[in-house]
Amino acid sequence: MEIEVELDQRPMLVRDLLDLAPGAVVKLTRSAGENVDVCVNGTRIGFGEIVILQNKVGVRITDFDTE
Cα separation, 64 vs 67, whole angstroms: 9
Please, are residues 51 and 31 in contact by the beta-carbon 8 Å criterion?
Answer: no
What pLDDT does 3 receive? 86
Please, are residues 58 and 51 in contact by the beta-carbon 8 Å criterion?
Answer: yes
Residue-wise pLDDT for 23-39, tens only, equals 998 888 888 888 999 99
For the whole prediction, is pTM greater than 0.75? no
* Domains, the chain, ordered by start: 3-64 (2.30.330.10)
Position 66 pLDDT exceeds 80: no
What pLDDT does 28 receive? 83
The per-residue DSSP string of 6-47 comes to --------HHHHHT--TT-----S--TT-EEEEEETTEEEEE
What pLDDT does 30 receive? 83
| Beta-carbon-side half-sphere exposure of residue 35 (alpha carbons within 13 Å) | 6
